[in-house]
Structure 1
Amino acid sequence: MARRQRTLMETAYQHIRELLMAMTLRPGDWIDDLRLAEQLGLSRTPVREALFLLASEGLVLVKPGGGFLVRSLDLVDVSRLFEAHIVLAKAVAHLVVARVTDSDFGELEAAEREVNQEMERRDPAGVSAANSRLHRIEARIADNEYLERLAGQIHDQGQRLGFISFGGYSEDIKAHFDAVRTDHAEIIKAYRDRNAGQAEEVSTRHVVLFRERIMRYFDTSAADDIELTGDWITPAAGA
C-alpha cells in the first residue's frame, strides 16, 4: 500500500474507531461507508480498507453479500467475553510479574493516575479509554504477541461496555470507582513485590468487578425490554 493511501486509510480507521468506542455507531448498526467517505472527504476505498481492518479486530462484521455491520453484543457474546477476560487477566498477571522492569513502573503508574483523573471528572468516555490504556500496557509488558492481540480485542469490547455503563444512568458510581482505584493500586503493588499469586487474585477480582457493573447496569436500564436471544446492548444503550 502506497504511503499516501495508507495515511488516508489510517485517518478513516481512527475516525470510525472513535465512533465505535463512543457508541455513535452502535451494536447491530449498518455502516454506510459511502456516507462516511463523504463526511471525511475521502474516496470509498480507504474507508472500506479501514472497515476491513476493524473487522479483523473484531469490532465490525463483513456481511456475506457485501456491506458492514457493527458487531453486536448479545448475552452469549458478553458471557464469553468475560470468560476470556478472566483467563487473559490471570495469564498477563503472571507474565508481568516475570517480565516487568523498573522502567515499566513509571508507565504503569502514569496510566493509573490518568484513570484516577478521569474518574474524578466522571467522564464515561475518558474513564473507559484510560482504563483500557492501562490494561493494554500490562499486556504489552507481558511480552507475548499472541496475548497482546487477544488483549486488544477484549479491551476494545470492554471499552465500549465501560462507556455505556459509566454514564448511562443516574446511580452514584463513587463506590465502583473507589474499588477500581483499590484494585489498580494493589495490582501494581503485586507487580513490584513480584507476587504472582496476589497479582492473579486481584486481577481476577478486577474483571469480576467490571462484569458485575455491566450486569447491574442492564438490570437497572430497561431490562424488561431487552431481547436476550438477540442484540441486548442496543436497546439498553438508548435507555
Structure 2
Amino acid sequence: MAGRPRTVMERAYSEIKKKVMTLQLAPGSVIDDLGLSEMLGISRTPAREALFRLVSEGLVVSDPDRRGFFVKPLDIQDLSSLFEAHMVSARAIGRLVAVRCNAAGIVKLRKAESKVIRAIEHARPEEVASSNAELHRLEASLAGNGYLANLACSIHDHGQRLGYLAFGGATAWDTLEQHFIEVQKDHSELIDAYENHDPDAAEGIAGRHVLLFRNRIFNFLTDDTAGSINLGGDILPSMQLSRSNLE
C-alpha cells in the first residue's frame, strides 16, 4: 500500500500533462485542481502534487495569492529564449552523440524515428509532437551528459506544446507535406551522422533541424489561422483555442 499514493500521483501527472501538451488546458487558462481531481477519480492531494511537479517543470504556474494554478502562457520573449537554448543544446548534443553513440543506441534511434514517420503517415498531430519529442529526448540521453539531457527534456516539453499546435492541431494537414519531408530528411541524416561518428555533420544537421522547427512555428504564428494573435503580448492565450477548432 505504501507505493499507491505515488502511483496515483504519477497517473494524475501524466493525464494533466497530456492535457497541457494537447492544449485541452489552453496556455494561460486557470486550472481547477478540484475539478481535475473529480474528473480523474482521485483525491485532491495527488492532483495538487502532480500540478506542483508541473510547476517545477515550468509548464504550470502557481499563484500563491489565490492558491491556484494556471497553464504557463508563451510570449515572444519565451519563444526567443526557448529557441536560443534549443539551438545551443541541440548542437552540443549532436556532437556528443556522434562521438559516444554505439550500435545499440543507433538501433534505438532508428526505432524512435520510425514512430515519428508512422505518426506523420497517419496524420495524427498529438502523436507527431510526442514521438518527435521522444526521439530528441532519447538523443539527449545518448549524449552521456545528464545536465544537457535535463535541459533538453525541459526544452522538448515546452516545444511539444508548440509542436502539437503547429503540426496539425490547428493547421490544415495538407499544408504540412513539405515540412514533414524536411523533418524526416533531417532525422535520417542526423542518425546517419551519428552512425558514422561524424560530429561536424551532426552539429550542422542538428542546428538546421532547430531552424526548421523555429521557422515552422513562426510561419504558423503569421499565417491566416493565427491572424488574431497579439504579438505584443501573450501569443497563445490570445488565440481562442478550443477543442472545436483544434479537431
TM-score (norm 1): 0.96
In the alignment, which residue of structure 1 is the partner of 2:119? 118
For 2:193, which of 168, 186, 190 is the aligned residue?
190
Which of 180, 185, 188 is 1:177 aligned to? 180
One of 212, 218, 229 as aligned partner of 1:215: 218
* 1:91 alignment partner in structure 2: 92
Cα distance in 2 between the residues matched to 1:94 and 1:67:
42
225-234 or 7-16, larger mean C-alpha shift? 225-234
Partners of 1:25 and 1:224 in 2: how far apart?
A: 21
What SS is found at the alignment partner of 1:163? helix
- Partner Cα separation in structure 1 for residue 214 and residue 115 of structure 2: 22
User: Match of 1:142?
Assistant: 143
Question: For 1:86-118, what per-residue CA distance to the aligned partner results, in whole angstroms no more than 9, with x for missing partners?
Answer: 001011011111211111111000011111111
Q: Check whether the contact 1:221–1:236 (CA below 8 A) recurs between aligned residues.
A: no
Distance 1:52 1:229 in 2: 29
Q: Deviations over 1:133-162 (max 9, x none)?
A: 100000010111111111111101111101
Q: Read off the aligned partner of 1:169 and give its amino acid letter.
A: T
Task: Quote the Cα distance in structure 2 between the aligned partners of 1:101 and 1:207.
Answer: 24
Secondary structure of 1:208's aligned partner: helix
Runs of 4+ in 1 over 6 A off after TM superposition: none
Q: In structure 1, what is the equivalent of residue 102 of structure 2?
A: 101
Q: State the distance in 2 between where 1:136 and 1:77 align.
A: 21
- The equivalent of 2:27 in structure 1 is 27
SS of 2:175 mapped into structure 1: coil
Give the Å deviation of 1:223: 4.6
The answer (yes or no) to whether the contact 1:92–1:142 under 8 Å persists in 2 is yes
Task: Tell me what 1:5 maps to.
Answer: 5
Return the letter of the residue paired with 2:171: Y
TM-score (structure 2 length as normaliser): 0.93
Q: How many residues align?
A: 239
Listed as ranges, the gaps of 5+ residues in structure 1 are none
Contact 1:27 1:231 in 2 (8 A): no
Mapped to 1, the partners of 2:54 and 2:62 lie a distance apart of 10
Taking every aligned residue pair, what percent have the same amino acid on both sides?
A: 46
Q: Is the 8 A contact 2:221 2:227 kept in 1?
A: no
SS of 1:131's equivalent?
A: helix
On the 8 A contact 1:61/1:70 being kept in 2, the answer is: yes
Shift of 1:237: 6.4
Structure 2 portions without partners, runs of 5+: none
- Contact 2:99–2:198 (CA under 8 A) maintained in structure 1: no
Query: What is the one-letter code of the residue matched to 1:189?
Result: D
Q: Could you tell me how far 1:224 is from its partner in structure 2?
A: 4.5
Matching residue within 231, 234, 237 for 1:234: 237
The alignment's C-alpha RMSD in Å is 1.5
1:164 maps to 165
Report the secondary structure of 1:69's partner residue: strand
